[in-house]
Structure 1
Amino acid sequence: MGIQMHTFRRGATYTWRKRLPASLGGGVFQISLRTTNPLIGRRLATILCAESCAVVDAMIHDGLNKDEARKLLVAVIAREHHKIAALRLAEAENPAAGAWERAKSADWAMGKALSLLAERGASGCHLTDADRVAMQTEGRSDSDIKMLERVLDQEARNYAEDPRQGLNNRSFSMMRHILGREQFSALELIHGRQIYYRGRGAVLLSGSEQSISEQETREAAELARCDFGSDQDQPPASRQGRENPTADDGGASHSSWPAPSADPSPAAIATQAGTDPPAYDPALMALVGRLMDDKRRQKMSEPMITQMTQSFRIFAEATHVSDIRFLRQEHIARFVEVMHKMPVHHGKSPKQRDKPLSEILKNPLNQPVGLSATTINRNLGYLGQLLIKGRSEGFRNLGDLDPGSLRQRKTRRERDERPPFSAEDVQAIFRHPIWHGYRSKGKWHEPGNVVLRDGLYWLPMIAALSGARRGEIAGLKAAEILTVDDIPCMMLQINANRGLKNLTSARLVPLHPQLLEMGLVAWAQDRMLRDGPRADLFPDMRPQKLPPIEQATGDEEGGKFGDQINYRFNKLVDRQITTQRAEKTFHSFRHYVATQLGRMADVREQVRKDILGHAGGSMTEERYTETSPPDLMLAAISRLPWLPL
Structure 2
Amino acid sequence: MPQKALLHDPKLVGIAPVPPARHVRGRQNFDLRSERMVGHKVGLITDAEIPSDGLHRRDTLQASIQRTLEQVEAARANIPDRPAPGAWQRALSDDWAMGKACELVGHRGAAAAPVAEEDRAAMRDAGRSAQEIAAVSDNVDLLAQAFACDPKLGQNRPGFDLMRTTLNREAFSQGEINHGRQIVQRGRGAAYQIASLGHLNDIASAAADALDLAEGRSPEQTSIQPPVLPAPAPEPPLVAPSEPAPLYDPAIQAVADRLMAQKKRQKMSAQMIDQMRKVYDLFIEATEVTDIRHLRQEHLARFIDVLNQLPKTYRKSPKDRLRTLAQILEAAKGKPVGLSATTINRNIDYIGQLLTKARGEGFSSVLMLDLGSLRERKNRRDRDDRPAFTPEDVQILFRHPIWQGWKSKRHWQEPGSTIIRDGLFWVPLIAALTGARRAEIAGLKAEDLEVIDGIPVMHFRPNANRGLKNLVSERTLPLHPQLVELGLMQHARAALKGPQGDMFPDQRPSSGTKFGDPLDYRFRLLVQRQLAGNPEGKVLHSFRHYVATQLGRIDGLREQVRKDILGHAGDSITAERYSETTPLLAALRQLPSLPVADLPAAEPVRAVARKTRKDGHRPSAQLPVGRRSASPA
Q: Please, what TM-score do these two structures have when normalized by structure 1?
A: 0.54
User: Which residue of 550, 554, 572 corresponds with 2:526?
Assistant: 572
Q: Distance in 2 between matches of 1:280 and 1:538?
A: 44
The DSSP-based 3-state class of the residue aligned with 2:476 is strand
For residues 431-446 of structure 1, the aligned pairs below 5 Å read 431-446=399-414
Q: Deviations over 1:548-571 (max 9, x none)?
A: xxxxxxxxxx43211222222122
Name the amino acid aligned to 2:428. Answer: P
1:500 aligns with 2:468: yes
Partner of 1:606 in structure 2? 560
Name the amino acid aligned to 2:587. Answer: A
User: Which residue of 589, 592, 603 corresponds with 1:641?
Assistant: 592
Q: Distance in 1 between matches of 2:207 and 2:363?
A: 26
Q: Deviations over 1:77-105 (max 9, x none)?
A: xxxxxxxxx9xx99xxxxxxxxxxxxxxx
Q: Distance in 1 between matches of 2:516 and 2:529?
A: 21
Q: Distance in 2 between matches of 1:355 and 1:297?
A: 33
1:295 aligns with 2:248: no
The DSSP-based 3-state class of the residue aligned with 1:606 is helix
Greater Rg over alpha carbons, structure: 1
Q: In the alignment, is the contact (CA less than 8 A) between 2:527 and 2:533 conserved in 1?
A: no
Shift of 1:349: 8.1
Change (3 A) 1:360 1:426: farther
Partner of 2:575 in structure 1? 621
The DSSP-based 3-state class of the residue aligned with 2:429 is helix
Shift of 1:370: 2.8
Q: Distance in 2 between matches of 1:471 and 1:305?
A: 15
Shift of 1:342: 2.1
Change (3 A) 1:289 1:636: same
Q: In the alignment, is the contact (CA less than 8 A) between 1:344 and 1:367 conserved in 2?
A: no
Change (3 A) 1:331 1:637: same
Shift of 1:244: 9.1
Q: What residue ranges of structure 2 are gaps of 5+ in the alignment? A: 1-66, 72-76, 88-191, 209-241, 597-633
Shift of 1:309: 0.2
Shift of 1:388: 1.8
User: Which residue of 451, 465, 469 corresponds with 2:419?
Assistant: 451
Name the amino acid aligned to 1:418. Answer: R
Q: Distance in 1 between matches of 2:406 and 2:314?
A: 34
Q: Distance in 2 between matches of 1:243 and 1:454?
A: 60
For residues 203-602 of structure 1, the aligned pairs below 5 Å read 277-346=245-314, 357-358=325-326, 360-361=328-329, 369-531=337-499, 534-545=500-511, 558-578=512-532, 581-602=535-556
Q: In the alignment, is the contact (CA less than 8 A) between 1:339 and 1:370 conserved in 2?
A: no
Name the amino acid aligned to 1:296. Answer: K
Q: Deviations over 1:387-414 (max 9, x none)?
A: 1222333333222322222110000011
Q: Distance in 1 between matches of 2:560 and 2:83?
A: 59
Change (3 A) 1:172 1:524: closer
Q: In the alignment, is the contact (CA less than 8 A) between 1:524 and 1:537 conserved in 2?
A: yes
Q: In the alignment, is the contact (CA less than 8 A) between 2:528 and 2:534 conserved in 1?
A: no
Name the amino acid aligned to 2:354. Answer: L
Shift of 1:290: 1.3
Q: In the alignment, is the contact (CA less than 8 A) between 2:459 and 2:477 conserved in 1?
A: yes
Q: Distance in 2 between matches of 1:285 and 1:563?
A: 30
Shift of 1:360: 4.9
Shift of 1:362: 6.6
Q: In the alignment, is the contact (CA less than 8 A) between 2:561 and 2:579 conserved in 1?
A: no
The DSSP-based 3-state class of the residue aligned with 1:611 is helix
Q: Please, what TM-score do these two structures have when normalized by structure 2?
A: 0.55
Q: Deviations over 1:31-72 (max 9, x none)?
A: xxxxxxxxxxxxxxxxxxxxxxxxxxxxxxxxxxxxxxxxxx
Q: In the alignment, is the contact (CA less than 8 A) between 1:345 and 1:367 conserved in 2?
A: no
Q: What residue ranges of structure 1 are gaps of 5+ in the alignment? A: 1-85, 91-166, 178-241, 248-253, 264-273, 546-557
Name the amino acid aligned to 2:425. Answer: Y
Q: In the alignment, is the contact (CA less than 8 A) between 1:489 and 1:511 conserved in 2?
A: yes
Q: Distance in 1 between matches of 2:352 and 2:247?
A: 21
Q: Distance in 2 between matches of 1:455 and 1:436?
A: 15
Q: Distance in 1 between matches of 2:525 and 2:376?
A: 32
Which stretch shifts more, 339-348 or 280-289?
339-348
Name the amino acid aligned to 1:641. Answer: P
Change (3 A) 1:445 1:324: same
Shift of 1:356: 5.0
Partner of 2:105 in structure 1? none
Paired residues, number: 384
Q: Distance in 2 between matches of 1:571 and 1:637?
A: 28
Q: Distance in 2 between matches of 1:560 and 1:502?
A: 17
Shift of 1:282: 2.5
The DSSP-based 3-state class of the residue aligned with 1:412 is coil
Shift of 1:173: 6.5
Partner of 2:172 in structure 1? none
Shift of 1:367: 8.5
Q: Distance in 1 between matches of 2:325 and 2:193?
A: 42
Give the RMSD, CA atoms, in angstroms: 3.7
The DSSP-based 3-state class of the residue aligned with 1:482 is strand
Change (3 A) 1:563 1:345: farther
Q: In the alignment, is the contact (CA less than 8 A) between 1:459 and 1:474 conserved in 2?
A: yes
Shift of 1:275: 8.2
Q: In the alignment, is the contact (CA less than 8 A) between 1:310 and 1:353 conserved in 2?
A: no
